[in-house]
């Protein structure tokens, strides 16, 4: 979704820069506008390539947890940057509803939140990198290493996380409230 939305935003920003005249020429002829368009196109291409690569690997039956998280993180962050540049290119018009860029600018922020925030994607990527560095292709060792952490997490869910200090504070605060 982020790649498709970024394509639309870039298309609209380019069309605007072709039509908008400043100092007797189209603003697309200004080098800084060209730089923003070029940066957006390069990042868009990279995100699209990452997404296609992850999908092809998944279709081939590979585990693509790292690649999918990398593509999601990069594509959603890229979409935000493309939207920001489009607002810059449109100037004050970038905030006007008639151009649509203002709506994209607001909406694309959500891409970095749903299906795992950017920070969650970073954790997944780093965790997988560390795991692969430690265990490589030894899936049995990888599974054994993850079992203790998973068992501890299940135990906390079943019996709760009853820390003695928390129990003391709860008892003390209930005594204070009853006075």
Enzyme catalytic residues: 115
Helix axes 2-19, 65-90, angle to 10 degrees: 20
Show the CA angle centred on residue 151, arms to residues 150 and 153, nearest 5°: 65
End-to-end CA distance of the chain: 57
CA dihedral of residues 94, 96, 100, 103 (deg, nearest 10):
90
**Helix/strand number for the chain, H first, E second:** 7, 2
- Residues facing 25 on adjacent strands: 22
């Amino acid at each position: 979704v982020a790649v498709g939305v970024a394509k639309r935003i870039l298309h609209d920003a380019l069309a605007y820069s072709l039509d908008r005249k400043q100092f007797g020429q189209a603003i697309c002829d200004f080098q800084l506008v060209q730089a923003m368009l070029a940066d957006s196109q390069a990042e868009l291409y990279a995100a699209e390539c990452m997404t296609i690569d992850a999908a092809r690997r998944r279709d081939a039956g590979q585990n693509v947890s790292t690649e999918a998280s990398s593509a999601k993180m990069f594509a959603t962050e890229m979409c935000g940057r493309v939207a920001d540049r489009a607002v810059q290119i449109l100037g004050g018009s970038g905030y006007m509803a008639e151009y649509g860029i203002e709506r994209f600018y607001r909406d694309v922020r959500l891409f970095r939140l749903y299906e795992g925030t950017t920070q969650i994607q970073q954790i997944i990527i780093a965790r997988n990198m560390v795991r692969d560095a430690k265990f490589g292709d030894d899936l049995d060792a990888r599974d054994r290493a993850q079992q203790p952490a998973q068992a501890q997490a299940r135990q906390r869910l079943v019996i709760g996380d009853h820390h003695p200090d928390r129990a003391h504070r709860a008892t003390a605060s209930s005594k204070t409230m009853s006075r």
